Copies of this chain bind each other. A is one copy, B any other.
Amino acid sequence: MLKVKEVSELIGISVRTLHHYDEIGLLSPEKMSGSGYRLYTDTDLEMLQQILFFKELGFPLKRIKDIINQPSFNRKEALETQRKMLLEKKKRLNQMLTLIDKTLKHEKGELELSNKERFEGFDFSKNPYEEEARERWGNEAVDKSKKKVSSMSTSEQKEMEGKMNAIYRRLAELRDSSPTSEESQEAIKEWYDFLNSNFGHQYSYEAFKGLGQMYVADERFTKNIDQFGEGLAKFMSEAMTAFADKNK
């Protein structure tokens, strides 16, 4: 069992960080000495490794706490998911390297670079790995929408629900047409805007696409959506994918 300085030196994080993690309930050591000293066990260190990987991937500490406290949390699975996420991060890094090379060529007058192209290697999606985390450890869109809704007044809830239903009904009318038609895409845009302005969560196009995929993968979504019309979830999923791919 290690005390704070020992852990701090072993890993290279500050004692203050360890205190902070204890305070917020993220990592509280399994044992305390009689005089109130924190004593970290091997198990604590195993969990700390998990935390540091999630932190490296840009997850806020609160979210990390959520995740590791899931009853279904399993370290081996987590490592595999984190591995996948790190590979994606590596891909993004490669995109940035490609962008630098292009910019250097541009500086040398070897190629043209539009303003848009100048920033194509950057991706400021909120947290690109949150979608994956959600799939594995919790469906935050559903959870968050439930929470957000429950904190509204009744009339606010009715208004929002009315808007949502209207969009669903509109989409249901369109579900026999092509998901990529102009009308369908317009309606999906409305859905995209609605989600982004009412649920305290900002969807990237990629995340929106992932959400659409979940509509058909997750029974709860499919059932809920298909109330408005048989096959609506599938239609929306396809339309959302098309929307995201068109706008990326």
Contacts and interface: CB of A to CB of B under 8 A. Distances in A.
Contacts of A173: none
A45 interface: yes
B116 A103 contact: no
Q: Is the interface of A mostly helix, strand, loop or mixed?
A: helix
B118 A56 contact: no
Interface stretch (A93-101, A129-137, A152-160, A180-188): A93-101
A22 interface: no
Given A10-B116, A93-B90, A116-B10, A100 B79 contact: yes
Nearest to A83: B100
A156 to B, nearest CB: 26
Interface residues of A, number: 40
B107 A79 contact: yes
A10 B101 contact: no
A79 B53 contact: no
Interface of A: 2, 10-13, 42, 45-46, 49, 52-53, 56, 75-76, 79-80, 82-83, 86-87, 89-90, 93-94, 96-97, 100-101, 103-104, 107-108, 115-116, 118-119, 122-125
